[in-house]
């Protein structure tokens, strides 16, 4: 569900910040 757009990385960063570190 990752769409490549101008604000792609920004939305991804918000998503990661809103979630606990699952890749730890």
How does pLDDT run across 4-22, given as a tens digit for each residue?
Answer: 666 667 777 777 776 776 6
In this predicted structure, what is the pLDDT of residue 1? Answer: 54
DSSP letter (8 states) at residue 17: H
Cα separation, 21 vs 7, in Å, equals 22
Q: What is the four-CA torsion angle of 14, 15, 17, 18, rounded to 10 degrees?
A: 110
Does this model's pTM top 0.75? My answer is no
- CA–CA dist 14, 1 (Å, integer): 14
pLDDT of residue 2: 57
Yes or no: say if 8 and 16 are a contact pair by the CB < 8 Å rule: no
Alpha helices, DSSP H only, in 1-24?
8-17
């Amino acid at each position: 569900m990752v769409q490549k757009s101008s604000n792609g990385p920004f939305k991804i960063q918000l998503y990661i910040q809103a979630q606990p570190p699952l890749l730890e």
